[in-house]
Amino acid sequence: EIWLRQGDPTIHYSIPTTPVAKNPVLDQIALYDSPEFISKFTYTGNDLGVTYTKKATTLRVWAPTATAVNVVTYKESNSPYSSGKLTPMKYDVKGTWVATLKGDQDGTVFNYRVQVNGFNNEAVDPYVRATTVNGLRGVIVDLSSTNPKGWGMTKPRFSGKPTDAIIYELHVRDLSMDASSGYPAAQKGKYVAFTNTKTSHNGEKTGVAAIKDLGVTHVELLPIFDFATVDENNPTFNWGYDPQNYNVPEGSYSADPTNPKLRITELKSAILSLHKQGLRINMDAVYNHVSNASSFSQNLIVPNYFFRRDDNGNLTSGSGCGNDVASERPMVRKFIVDSVKYWANEYNMDGFRFDLMGLMDIKTINEITTALNKIDPTILVIGEGWNMGTLPANQRANQLNIQKLNRVSHFNDQIRDGVKGSVFDSADTGFATGKPGSRNDVMAGIVGNVDYSTSISTKWVTSYPGQSVNYVESHDNMTLVDKIKASVKDAKPSDIAQLSQFSTSIAFLSQGLPFMQAGQEFLRSKNGDTNSYKSSDAINSLKWDTRKSNMATVNYYKGLIALRKAHPAFRMTTTEQVKSNLKFSNSPDGTIVYTLNGAAVKDKAATIVVIHNANVAEQSISLPKSGSWSVLVDNGKAGVSVIRKVTGDTLKVAGRATVVLTQ
Ligand code: CA
């Protein structure tokens, strides 16, 4: 008898990796995709996984092709597999198997043992909410006992309009690992650091206190679900885009990953703390691929159902990670929708960022946003809508189909690369860094990639400006500063700061949803690292002492954010508003000038003029009308207060700088 278990390096899995003449994998997939199978085995109940009460726990697992399923329970998290106690599950409805364990099972360690495809597989419950360290066994928990004191507090106020958000993307470890973070050793790299809101270094705020000070509305965390690569007993840095258990918090960020409940409480405490600071919290959701397809729990229970295959029966890899989740299959779709709902309900999550959303199917994404809207209509959904993968073109939840996606925003690579150059070519420049030819790509982003007019060529077209996530830096690729260093010849430190401010002002003053990476505001560098997913903490961590030395740039970012929040003219919500109230004027080469009709969108400023001068030299710019103007943004300064007043119908604008005027 052969037992297959996740994490066992000696086992041979049930997926052949090379095509055979009569392909059993393709036969099995044809069965799964047949109308008969779908009608007979699509389960719609809301009780997959663990249903806990103090008197009994019921377990339900979807295993339509299994010939027998047992629950195996263990005395301890590390009890030998041979010591497991078997409880047979009964076949119930629609391919599901059910067993009830009597008594209070809070803390019980369990897995499923499934006879399927001629193998005996042992797998973690795919729906499981708690696990042992490193996630190879599930744990039944009484979730009500995991809530920290004060849990259930309402979220910080937010309209739910994506254009009202400013997202700050952050990795859990990066917040606190550096010596200058101000966090004590016990909090470094952990969820608990988020509950410490009073850190500083040399008299300047660091960590959560500094993020709050910046004025962003949402903190978006890189993966916090359980991922596979990092040994939770001995953590090292990893971004975490390698999902293992979708509904369990990652253990390496816990003070004690061997305590299955603690990480749940710690993550909830982190969320509660950010909410108390007025910050909303979004999570990175990676439903497009898993760490290891063969040993993924769902694959051991329903072999070959969870992933896409090519015509030869091989796993596809549009994700570049060795597998693509088949979101279009009904029970995969249900799993994903249920998982997202769980995070929104149990963890009070305020938003989701879908990794490689373009690989997923439109129907799944729309079911997700419909479900989230019922839970809380202010939850944000953004995603990477790159056009990739093997689904038919009209089913992909990507930029080209964004008009079929309800309440979803996509990262805008047109303005990103338009401003600073291609992320795939370090030396390439953009409009801000010396390539006037990229002007159109920047203008597309300025209007939020709406259908503005034939004068602007948009690579993808949004239904409303909030669908465009406008940014010039994220965790992927070089930081903005590293990109500037790699592409702008002889850039002095003062030039780098100026180009960071200039590039970001273009993105943040555009119509849409502004997004930044943590530390961008103090000129974060990863020493030119273009893919730091498993680089050291020394490369990745936020160097909070550099915040103090770059305080002028921090204040500039802070000013841009305050300006955006104070003026609805930067936050128009419809295509019609943008078309009617944002007008570009003729201006010299290397410049973009546009006027916002503030009065039309209830802005306190009747007219706002934005001037971006990408030339190294000062330029004389014609204003749309004469009169007295208040300057709110000028070279090196940004905010809501008047820097100075100017009169007339022309203005000299410094090189590589943005000016904002109001009247
Ligand atoms: Ca893990």
pLDDT at residue number 117: 86
Q: Is the model's pLDDT at 183 over the cut of 80?
A: yes
pLDDT at residue number 6: 55
**How far does the centroid of ligand 1 lie from the alpha carbon of residue 122, in Å?**
18
Question: Which residue in 204, 355, 361, 367 is the catalytic one?
Answer: 355
**How far does the centroid of ligand 1 lie from the alpha carbon of residue 261, in Å?**
14
Average pLDDT (571-599) is 98
**How far does the centroid of ligand 1 lie from the alpha carbon of residue 132, in Å?**
10
Q: Is the model's pLDDT at 153 over the cut of 80?
A: no
Contact predicate 604/645, CB 8 Å = no
Least confidently predicted of 24-38, 232-246, 251-265: 24-38
**How far does the centroid of ligand 1 lie from the alpha carbon of residue 452, in Å?**
46
pLDDT at residue number 22: 67
Least confidently predicted of 22-31, 329-338, 641-650: 22-31
Q: Is the model's pLDDT at 587 over the cut of 50?
A: yes
Per-residue pLDDT tens over the stretch 186-219: 999 999 999 999 999 999 999 999 999 999 999 9
- The pLDDT > 70 percentage for the chain reads 97
Q: Is the model's pLDDT at 12 over the cut of 50?
A: no
Q: Which tokens go with 231?
A: 């040994």
pLDDT at residue number 20: 44
Q: Is the model's pLDDT at 422 over the cut of 70?
A: yes
Distance CA 380, CA 371 (A): 12
Q: Please, where are the H alpha helices in 228-353?
A: 262-276, 297-301, 330-346
pLDDT at residue number 15: 45
Q: Which tokens go with 189?
A: 């790299």
Per-residue pLDDT tens over the stretch 305-323: 999 999 989 999 999 999 9
Average pLDDT (433-438) is 97
Is 355 considered catalytic here? yes
Is 384 considered catalytic here? yes
**How far does the centroid of ligand 1 lie from the alpha carbon of residue 243, in Å?**
8
**How far does the centroid of ligand 1 lie from the alpha carbon of residue 7, in Å?**
12
Per-residue pLDDT tens over the stretch 244-258: 999 999 999 999 999
Q: What are phi and psi of 151, to 5 degrees?
A: -60, 145
Could you tell me the pLDDT band of residue 635, with boundaries at 50, 70 and 90? confident
Q: Which tokens go with 354?
A: 């879908």
Q: Please, where are the H alpha helices in 397-542?
A: 413-420, 439-446, 480-487, 493-508, 537-540
**How far does the centroid of ligand 1 lie from the alpha carbon of residue 334, in Å?**
23
**How far does the centroid of ligand 1 lie from the alpha carbon of residue 114, in Å?**
23
**How far does the centroid of ligand 1 lie from the alpha carbon of residue 353, in Å?**
20
**How far does the centroid of ligand 1 lie from the alpha carbon of residue 12, in Å?**
22
Distance CA 400, CA 412 (A): 12
Calculate the average pLDDT of the chain. 95
pLDDT at residue number 2: 45
**How far does the centroid of ligand 1 lie from the alpha carbon of residue 240, in Å?**
9
Which amino acid is present at 194? F
pLDDT at residue number 442: 98
Per-residue pLDDT tens over the stretch 594-633: 999 999 999 999 999 999 999 999 999 999 999 999 999 9
Per-residue pLDDT tens over the stretch 439-492: 999 999 999 999 999 999 999 999 999 999 999 999 999 999 999 999 999 999
pTM above the 0.85 mark?
yes
Distance CA 488, CA 471 (A): 19
Could you tell me the pLDDT band of residue 152, with boundaries at 50, 70 and 90? confident
> What b/e sequence results for 409-423 when a residue is b if at least 16 CB atoms lie within 10 Å of its CB, and e otherwise?
bbbbbbbbbbbbbbb
Of 620, 610, 617, the residue nearest 588 (C-alpha): 620
**How far does the centroid of ligand 1 lie from the alpha carbon of residue 151, in Å?**
25
Question: Which residue in 178, 220, 350, 384 is the catalytic one?
Answer: 384
Per-residue pLDDT tens over the stretch 382-411: 999 999 998 999 999 999 999 999 999 999
Per-residue pLDDT tens over the stretch 351-377: 999 999 999 999 999 999 999 999 999
Per-residue pLDDT tens over the stretch 493-536: 999 999 999 999 999 999 999 999 999 999 999 999 999 999 99
Q: Tell the residue number behind the tokens 């549009």, with chain if given.
A: 318
Per-residue pLDDT tens over the stretch 57-115: 999 999 999 999 999 999 999 999 999 999 999 999 999 999 999 999 999 999 999 99
Q: Which tokens go with 112?
A: 């499923």
**How far does the centroid of ligand 1 lie from the alpha carbon of residue 76, in Å?**
19
Per-residue pLDDT tens over the stretch 13-27: 444 444 444 688 888
**How far does the centroid of ligand 1 lie from the alpha carbon of residue 375, in Å?**
28
**How far does the centroid of ligand 1 lie from the alpha carbon of residue 227, in Å?**
4
- pLDDT, greater one: 9 or 231: 231
